[in-house]
């Protein structure tokens, strides 16, 4: 169980501030969704939380420890990241990739023991990737790689998982499988979960709380019902939509309205204004 806390964090690329004043908390057993338009900085937040980039100002704490002071293996035993479409060495087998998740648990002079192999294998079982074990990564599809990366994060045996677009390459069946699994882990093992998602409907269905980022700041934060409204969708994404309640569980569903009365150049201008 681990709590992640961002305090007034500013993030920059090449000395240009891209995100500022980020203050939020992620608690164990709660699945939080990070949403916002393309390029709003969802991935940047995940990179900062995993100490891949250092904040321009502000601090990020993992159970009151400043993450920039944690040695990398220690951090990797507490927090795993499922990156979005990363570079993978195509000649490695799927099993070897998942086994890399055991690295933070091994010293420089140690090799993987039977226990590590078993943990990696079970992580592959949970994500349904065992049949891929012998295949080379270069031969796998985007969806298979996505599941493999989740297996690698599970093999890390961390207390928190950050996921960057975990459903980006998946069909609707695999989307629900992956998010069901993550939600189950979050509930049963009391994991702290943050998932960057661009599909608002998936975010609304699965997340307990949503953080909506726009124009380099947190635009809204709260339950899916509070954050996803027709007004915020119009203001943040520049899209006309209707927001309904899901007939089964009352969570918000976003339906896009094609606006044929507005001509295309108007629409594009509108989009540019909102960015």
Partner 1 sequence: MVIEPPTYLLHWRSRVYSIIGLIVLLVIIVILAVTIGSVHIPFSATIGILFSRLPWVDMSPTWTGTLETIIFDIRLPRVILAGLVGSALATAGATYQGLFRNPLADPYLIGVAQGAALGAVIGFMLPPAWHSIGFGIIPLLAFCGAVVSTAVVYNLARVGKTLPATTLILAGVAISALLASIVSYLVISSGEKIHGIMFWLMGSLSLSQWSDVIVTLPYVILGVTIILLYARPLNLAQLDEDQAQQLGINVERLKLVLMAAATLITAAAVSFVGIIGFVGIIVPHAVRLIWGVDHRFLLPLSVLTGAVFLILADMIARTVMAPTEIPIGVITAICGAPFFLYLLRRRRKLIF
Would you state the structure tokens that stand for residue 61, as one six-digit string?
């704490």
Would you give the binding string for partner 1 spanning residues 25-54, x where CB under 8 A is met? ----------------------x--xxx--
Q: Which stretch binds partner 1 (CB under 8 A): 2-10, 81-89, 218-226, 262-270?
A: 81-89
CB 195 within 8 A of CB 30: no
Nearest distance from residue 44's CB to partner 1, in Å? 12
Establish if 109 lies at the interface with partner 1 (CB under 8 A): yes
Host H or E run for residue 103: none
Binding residue (CB under 8 A) for partner 1 from 11, 40, 60, 76: 76
Q: Which residues pair with 59 in a beta bridge?
A: 7
Establish if 122 lies at the interface with partner 1 (CB under 8 A): yes
Residues 191, 1: Cα–Cα separation, whole Å: 6
Establish if 91 lies at the interface with partner 1 (CB under 8 A): yes
CB 82 within 8 A of CB 162: yes
Establish if 95 lies at the interface with partner 1 (CB under 8 A): yes
Q: Which residues pair with 81 in a beta bridge?
A: 162
Establish if 242 lies at the interface with partner 1 (CB under 8 A): no
Q: Which stretch binds partner 1 (CB under 8 A): 33-41, 70-78, 183-191, 209-217?
A: 70-78
Residue 101 phi, psi dihedral angles, 5° rounding: -65, -20
Residue among 82, 219, 88, 242 at smallest CA distance from 146: 82
Q: Which residue stretches of the chain are H helix? A: 42-49, 72-78, 94-99, 114-126, 142-155, 172-188, 200-206, 224-227, 230-232, 264-274
Nearest distance from residue 73's CB to partner 1, in Å? 4
Binding residue (CB under 8 A) for partner 1 from 120, 140, 178, 253: 120
Residues that bind partner 1 (CB under 8 A): 47, 50-52, 71-77, 79-81, 83, 86-93, 95-96, 100-101, 103-104, 106, 108-109, 111, 117-118, 120-122, 125, 130, 133-134, 136, 138-139, 156
């Amino acid at each position: 169980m681990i709590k992640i806390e961002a305090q007034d964090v500013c993030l920059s690329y090449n000395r240009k501030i891209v995100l500022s004043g980020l203050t939020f908390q992620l608690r164990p057993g709660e699945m939080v969704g990070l949403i916002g338009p393309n390029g709003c900085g969802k991935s940047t937040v995940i990179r900062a939380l995993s100490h891949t980039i250092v904040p321009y100002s502000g601090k990020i704490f993992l159970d009151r420890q400043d993450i920039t002071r944690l040695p990398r293996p220690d951090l990797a035993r507490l927090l795993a990241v499922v990156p979005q479409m990363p570079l993978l060495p195509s000649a490695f087998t799927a099993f070897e990739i998942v086994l890399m998740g055991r690295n933070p648990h091994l010293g420089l002079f140690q090799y993987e023991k039977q226990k590590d192999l078993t943990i990696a294998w079970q992580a592959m079982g949970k994500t349904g990737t065992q049949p891929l074990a012998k295949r080379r990564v270069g031969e796998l599809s985007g969806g298979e790689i996505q599941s493999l990366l989740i297996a690698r994060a599970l093999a890390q045996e961390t207390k928190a998982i950050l996921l960057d677009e975990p459903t980006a390459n998946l069909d609707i069946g695999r989307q629900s499988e992956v998010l069901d699994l993550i939600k189950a882990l979050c509930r049963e093992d009391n994991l702290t979960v943050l998932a960057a998602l661009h599909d608002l409907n998936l975010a609304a269905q699965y997340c307990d709380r949503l953080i909506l980022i726009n124009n380099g700041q947190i635009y809204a934060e709260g339950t899916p019902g509070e954050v996803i409204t027709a007004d915020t969708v119009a203001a943040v994404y520049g899209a006309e939509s209707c927001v309904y309640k899901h007939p089964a569980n009352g969570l918000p569903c976003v339906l896009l309205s094609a606006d044929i009365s507005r001509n295309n150049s108007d629409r594009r201008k509108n989009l540019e204004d909102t960015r």
